[in-house]
Amino acid sequence: MPQLQHSKSATRALRSSAGSTVAFSGRHRCGTLRNSVRCPLRNRQQIRMESLNLHNQVSVERLDMNGIKEITKQLLTGTAIADALDDLATLRLDIFPEYPYLYQGRMADELIYLSTYAEAPDAGVILAYDGLTVIGAATGMPLIHEDARMFDAFARASFPLDEVYYVGELLLRPAYRNCGLGRKLLDLFESHIRSLGCYRRLTCATVERPDDHLLRPRDYIPITRFLARTGFARLPGVTTSFMWRETDGVKRDHTMQFWIKDLT
């Protein structure tokens, strides 16, 4: 298989990852929030602030993080997602080298993979900002638009797969973790998914690592704790696998375990 295909598979697999790196890593479309035309960085930042101030799909959260910070959360759907791809790719490349993913990616491959968010019906992205800086994100799309290996893992499921929404990423930079922001991003995303009126279940997937892995940090908190607190349950036997290059330069196969949550 060509190198690009390996990279796309790896980025797709990591979509579901949350781990300790973050506390986690219908047919209706909402209107766009930003001009979908690419522009220089300094102009994109100005447009970003204008859209944050004017569009009603934006909320502001005041968090006590050794001092009060105002975190702005912006929901993007449809073609508006295209302007978020650089920010999403940068977050992934910065965060996923951490345990348990140990992922070594490339910007070009990330942008190719992430473009599916701007194309898939009902895909959504939430960006979290501290001022002009993107410090977190939540992403997802209907399971039926996912990679075949993700979809096929549910071959024996007793529920309709077109009613399942796949939550791919919940990413936060280190300084913004452990203050409740991950839960707030997930709650906001769930509210949006419910508003679409077509999805009865959420699913996500986490990478499996042995407890005695040599690179596991002493203070590592498994993502399973976050998932349990937010209503997800492990789906025994529902797994898939993806290969990606780890930070030591070696490609390895990785088992991904699925979780489920009812929205009803």
Q: What is the mean pLDDT of residues 65-80?
A: 84
Q: What is the mean pLDDT of residues 26-38?
A: 29
> Is the pLDDT assigned to residue 27 strictly greater than 80?
no
pLDDT of residue 143: 96
- How many distinct structural domains can be found in the chain? 1
pLDDT of residue 44: 45
Q: What is the mean pLDDT of residues 91-105?
A: 95
Q: What are the C-alpha distances in Å from 120 to residues 27, 161, 205?
A: 10, 16, 19
Which CATH number do you get for residue 15?
Answer: 3.40.630.30
Token couple for 225: 């704790």
- Alpha-carbon distance of 205 to 102, in angstroms, equals 16
- Looking at every residue in the chain, the average pLDDT score rounds to 81
pLDDT tens, residue by residue, 218-252:
999 998 899 999 999 999 999 999 999 999 999 99
pLDDT of residue 151: 86
Give the residue numbers spanning the domain of 66: 3-262
If 0-12 CB within 10 Å is exposed, 13-18 middle and 19+ buried, where does residue 256 land? Answer: buried
pLDDT band of 61, cuts 50, 70, 90: low
